[in-house]
Amino acid sequence: MTITNSILEISQIIEGKLFAPPDFSDWRIEKIVTDSRTYFGGKNALFFALVGPRNNGHHFIPELIKKGVTAFIVSEKKFITGDAAFILVKNTTSALQKLAAFHRARFQYPVVGITGSNGKTIVKEWLHEILSGQLKIIRSPKSYNSQTGVPLSVLLMDNNYNLAIFEAGISQPGEMAKLQPIIKPEVGILTNIGDAHQENFKSKKQKLLEKLQLFKSAKQLVFNIDNELVGKEAQHFCSENSIKPVSWSLKNNNALLKFKHQAVGGKSNLSVVYNDEKFEFTVPFADESSIENACHCFVATLLLAKNARETLNVYTRLAPLAMRLEIKKGVNNCLLINDYYNSDLTSFSIALSVLHQQSKKGHLNKLVILSDIQQTGIPPKKLYRQINQLLAQWQINEIVGIGPEITAHSNEFTLPKSFYPATENFIKHRYKNQFSNAVILIKGARSFTFEKIAALLQQKAHQTVLEIDLNALVNNLNVFRSLLRPETKIMVMVKAFSYGTGDVEIAQLLQYQNVDSLAVAVADEGVELRNAGIQTPIIVMNPEQHSFQNIIDYRLEPNIYGEEVLLNFKKAVSENALNNYPVHLKIDTGMNRLGFKTRQEIKTIVSEISSGSQLRIKSVFSHLAASDNPDFDTFTQEQFNCFDILSEKITRAFPYKIDRHILNSAGIERFPEKQYEMVRLGIGLYGISATGLPLQNISTFKSSVSQVKKVSPGETIGYGRKGKIDRESEIAIVPVGYADGLDRKLSNGTGQARVNGQRVPITGTICMDMLMLDVTGKNVSAGDEVEFFGPHLSVSEVAEKAGTIPYEILTGISQRVKRVYLFE
């Protein structure tokens, strides 16, 4: 952050009360911290103790004082001590917003504000790429568009820049009024208005009117008039607030700019006339949303660029998914974090935090491959000195610099280092077998083509992948957290390879998100997580006697479901001379699987555990049989009643607190009044809802077309000649089969895939390693991407067509399928 005010000045800006020794009043702040996990040193830091529905930043103050932070913004007076400077405010989030609004008012250069339901981040990133050749731009990092993300973005403004681009997102009424004075844009861009975050608004109109509040003091507003609601309300809003409407259309509607569009082989040629001057440009997309986003960017460029015509060649290079980090397995037990779309100081800092998050996985080294950092406005010597400081703070072991500028400033780096003038030099001289047991951040501007380095270091796998959206997973976790009391604990099920999504990667993220415990099926899964650096409590749901020593050695916690398991595990604990070892007791309330069922069984286990000091009951739990089905609600209530009776006999028999839990994902949604002290989150985390919660898809199973061939009427497709052709057809062959986890029941037209934005049927019988799609008339070519489930084909729909449940589809994806983790 670029704040340079004294602690006394900041207390006045945010209207807080300062508690500090006299010599602290002139102490100047240089860094704002809001997440204790991302602070690893640095001078003059100020921590905002933000309070959310699940986390309270005040609890991390002692830890941060030990790390050297000596200034805090707090809203709870009891945390104020004599060990640091404190500013007491009513609300720490509001204080952060006040500070950002004050900071924003210091600068006179133009600010662009972007909001909408979809497309905010991509428009911001594309606009940055289009304009960065003519302007020095500061923009929101990644998708920092929330009530805390916006002020953190605005606090990055300084005099090195001459344009700012910030995005703003809201999820409920009243939020935009808080963000507007922080961004206070001169130019506004209103992107697509869709169903995202609709649950807290009465209508799309209400949501649109809320979003428009961002622009109430703007001079110009860019919007697409083709949407009738947007066109009407945006025009009215501009008229009421003396804003110049800069409307555009792709459908020849009455707008200031009318685009003409022609799709050619997956690309789109666009032309428009503005002030009697014709502009033509091409974007490498054919889908409607990308074309709309590109038009927004072009119109904004007309308003902002020194010379809009000079930017036209940039449109051909625009890339999708601009804000995604990819986490992949690399050669020689390496882990790769690919972020080679752009390279700037802020996104580099964020990428380092992801590297740190992923580094506790048995990797010995943290290594960064970094290109020249471009268009920062910071003098190179100062810039690379700051980079070196960041590397030191995050305890990076080695830096590899690529590019003429970073090489020229190699003396600014104090850690082990090597430098190359270009990517080709690195590939030629630094062989992949020189990297092992490392987590490697590959971070570079697009012009350096770092995807070549990623391909060199990536563990080889065939082109079929399962993409895991980690941001969507965090969203789903927070949706369920919003249904719970703040004190209710969450156990997350990561058994069965985290429902097919990958065990260690998911567990690492959940640990970072401070879930209370993880649950695995067998001890081996828990051992793997411990070996990867997972410290969160891990419960083993199906402990086997031969694994008891591993359970003890790796601090795993067994589910005790029967008397024999109890006696044998108690004996194992005794042989290890341990006391108070945590265990979890399973009660059978009607599922008729594992668990103690009768009062006599409960009496026996209570007596056995009480007779010694070896074991300590950490929780008692049961499992609902049909919580997702309203037809069985009477039976579910009987399970609750049984659980209340039997669990009470256990909890009352011991002098210490014992947690209780019975709710699974569907139970959390439908019976939140029965959350007790803990809940167990499983399939809901992965995007499947029983009641229509606003969960996000986290998994996309996709591949690409290997070949397209023409087939004549009368010919057949695949084994058993099941795919019968009755017309001239085009058949695409895709390297996905039942060995990858695609159910054979989806053969012969039952299942579908999506290619080139269109659904097509699976034809013929699915083979072990490939299948065939009927793509007749769809303009499909070899190399085109194919989706089997994901954002456009839900797992639930695929499961229904296959006659099964989403669990089986997700857990059935073979481990030979490469998992790619996306992180914004």
Q: Give per-residue pLDDT as tens, 339-369.
A: 876 666 777 877 888 888 777 655 568 999 9
Considering only residues 319 and 557, tell me which one the structure prediction assigns the higher pLDDT: 557
What residues does each domain of the chain span? Answer: 7-97, 107-317, 327-460, 471-686, 699-823
Annotated binding site for substrate: 593, 768
pLDDT at 299 over 70: yes
CA distance 558 to 570: 11
- Mean pLDDT score of the chain: 89
* Cross-strand pairs, 419: 401
pLDDT at 27 over 70: yes
* Cross-strand pairs, 440: 336, 367
Q: Give, in words, the CATH class of 327-460.
A: alpha beta
CA distance 621 to 599: 15
pLDDT at 420 over 80: yes
pLDDT score recorded for residue 322: 46
CA distance 508 to 642: 36
In the chain, the amino acid numbered 367 is L
Annotated binding site: 593, 768
CA distance 274 to 222: 14
Q: Which of 244, 428, 719, 724 is catalytic?
A: 719
Mean pLDDT of 8-16: 94
Q: Give per-residue pLDDT as tens, 728-765.
A: 999 999 999 999 999 999 999 999 999 988 999 999 99
Q: Give per-residue pLDDT as tens, 156-214.
A: 998 989 999 999 999 889 999 999 999 999 999 999 887 655 667 888 899 999 999 99
* Cross-strand pairs, 269: 262, 282
pLDDT score recorded for residue 1: 52
CA distance 513 to 508: 9
* Cross-strand pairs, 442: 338, 369
> Is 495 annotated as catalytic?
yes
Provide the pLDDT confidence category of residue 650 given band limits of 50, 70 and 90. very high
Is the CATH number of domain 107-317 3.40.250.10? no
Tokens found for residue 207:
């949501």
Q: Give per-residue pLDDT as tens, 769-778.
A: 999 999 999 9
Contact 57, 51 (CB under 8 A): yes
Tokens found for residue 572:
């194992």
CA distance 345 to 384: 10
Say which residues have a Cβ less than 8 Å from residue 378's Cβ, sequence separation at least 6.
160, 345, 386
Say which residues have a Cβ less than 8 Å from residue 696's Cβ, sequence separation at least 6.
469, 471, 472, 475, 476, 687
Provide the pLDDT confidence category of residue 375 given band limits of 50, 70 and 90. low
pLDDT score recorded for residue 123: 94
Q: Cα–Cα–Cα angle for 369, 373, 379, nearest 5°?
A: 135
Percent of the chain with pLDDT over 70: 94
How many C-beta atoms lie closer than 10 Å to residue 599's C-beta? 11
φ and ψ at residue 50, rounded to 5 degrees:
-75, 145
Tokens found for residue 335:
């882990």
Contact 326, 338 (CB under 8 A): yes
Give me the long-range contacts of 416-425 (CB less than 8 A, separation at least 24): 422/448, 423/371, 423/448, 423/449, 423/450, 423/452, 423/453
Q: Give per-residue pLDDT as tens, 429-473.
A: 876 667 888 899 999 887 788 888 888 888 665 678 888 888 899
Q: 44: left (phi > 0), else alpha (psi -120 to 50), else beta? A: left
**What is the helix (H) or strand (E) element at residue 58, kind and residue range?**
none
The tally of CA atoms less than 13 A away on the side-chain side of residue 331 is 12
CA distance 31 to 294: 35
Q: Which of 495, 570, 618, 702 is catalytic?
A: 495
**CATH code, residues 471-686:** 3.20.20.10
Q: Would you say the CATH fold of 699-823 matches that of 471-686?
A: no
CA distance 758 to 285: 15
pLDDT score recorded for residue 251: 93
Give the CATH fold of the 699-823 domain: Lyase, Ornithine Decarboxylase; Chain A, domain 1 (2.40.37)
> Is 499 annotated as catalytic?
no
Mean pLDDT of 288-294: 90
Give the CATH fold of the 7-97 domain: 3.40.1390
pLDDT score recorded for residue 349: 79
Mean pLDDT of 111-115: 97
First-to-last alpha carbon distance for the chain, in angstroms, is 20
